[in-house]
Amino acid sequence: MRSEPVLNEEEWTKLSEAVASVKYKKQKGSTSPTVGVTFCLLCGSALYFVKGDPAKGKHERYRCHGNKSKGIQACPKQRFWAEDLYPWLESTLLGEIGHLERMESTTIDDSRAAKLAVIDGKMNQLLKELQQDELSAVAYASQVASLAQDREKVTNLEGPKPVTVWTGTGESYAEWWERSSVDERREWLKKHKVKAYFGHDVLAVDPGDLIESIKQQGISYWDLPSKSSQVLSPITPISLHGKPYGKPKPLTGVEWEIVSRWEDFDAERTTQRAKGQEEAQGAGEVTVVPASA
């Protein structure tokens, strides 16, 4: 006897859509654009987002709050303007991976857990209907019994071991970033376990499992960087202000990281802004650009 699949394809699609929409709604109320992603480089605690108040001339900002439950006090002076922090993170990350094809990981055969979740969901639904008198006790009992049988079948299935596969999406990380909302970006960064550790002179990004995608597409070493300020360890020396030039230990403690110096980012941004202004002014005009020394 052939057993019926627990869900047909249409039901699967509906279910995954429902799950996705619930997740998204939950996240929407978040006030921090980067909660779960940005941390203090000195103590490792999460950076807190502090809303601005334009009437009082207060900027949006992030600061280290420490971690009371771990007895970590807030780091003094670990404060970052939102208008600096987000672009710095964006530039650092996309500078390293922006040109690569966005890959997404799929874990094949997670189906057992998913099927069980669906059956449990249906059971809950039946219970609700029973409680609201939309279902007779007899109908409830027989439907639950049949679901319980399904459940047991699924539990006893011998499944192949889950395998994670990275597949290309046909667009670059930069393109995806551009078309995504701040919420979507944050959820995506969290999903891939990307963590950004901010200090005043340096930002170190733990690329999480994106490193697998980066490795597959080639890592830019220091002699061929997409940006001069960024390296992936292991590990190219960078010189930080006032510290000896040498092979630094990884700032994030992980094997691979993307590092950006504030002064490099700031200089680059200044140049870009100047260029943008020039272009805005220079439409139609002949501009004399002084030769650089």
Contacting positions for Zn ion (CB under 5 A): 40, 42-43, 45, 64, 75, 78
Question: In terms of Cα–Cα distance, which of 69, 71, 65 is closest to 45?
Answer: 65
Closer by beta carbon to Zn ion, 81 or else 221? 81
Q: Nearest distance from residue 199's CB to Zn ion, in Å?
A: 9
Residue 78 or 260 with smaller CB distance to Zn ion: 78
* Shortest Cβ 192–Zn ion spacing (Å): 24
CB of 63 to Zn ion, least distance (A): 9
Closest among 97, 102, 101 to 258, alpha carbons compared: 97
- How many CB atoms lie under 10 A from the CB of residue 97? 26
Task: Describe the crossing of helices 82-97 and 210-217 by its angle, rounded to 10 degrees.
Answer: 40
Residue 127 Cβ vs Zn ion, minimum distance, rounded to whole Å: 47
Alpha carbon distance 268, 266 (integer Å): 5
Which backbone phi and psi does 67 adopt, to 5 degrees? -150, 100
Q: Which is nearer to Zn ion, 77 or 249 (CB)?
A: 77
Cα 228 to chain centroid, rounded: 24
Nearest approach in angstroms of CB 75 to Zn ion is: 3
Helix (H, G, I), strand (E, B) or coil at 202: strand
What DSSP string runs through 258-273?
EEEEHHHHHHHHHHHH
Task: Compare residues 56 and 70 and give the one whose CB is closer to Zn ion.
Answer: 70
**CB 39 → Zn ion: shortest distance, Å?**
8
Which of 76, 133, 125, 99 has the alpha carbon at shortest distance from 214? 99
Strand partners, 103: 168
> Which H/E stretch holds residue 161?
none
The minimum distance between CB 40 and Zn ion, in angstroms, equals 3
Q: Which is nearer to Zn ion, 74 or 254 (CB)?
A: 74
Region of residue 255 (left: phi > 0; alpha: psi -120 to 50; beta: else): alpha
At closest approach, how far in Å is the CB of 64 from Zn ion? 3
Two tokens, residue 94: 């996309």
Assess contact for 241 and 217: CB atoms under 8 A. no
Strand partners, 104: 167
Q: Which is nearer to Zn ion, 24 or 81 (CB)?
A: 81
Pick 78 or 91: Cβ nearer Zn ion: 78
b or e along 233-244 (b: 16 or more beta carbons within 10 Å of the residue's beta carbon)?
A: bebeebebeeee
Q: Which is nearer to Zn ion, 177 or 262 (CB)?
A: 262
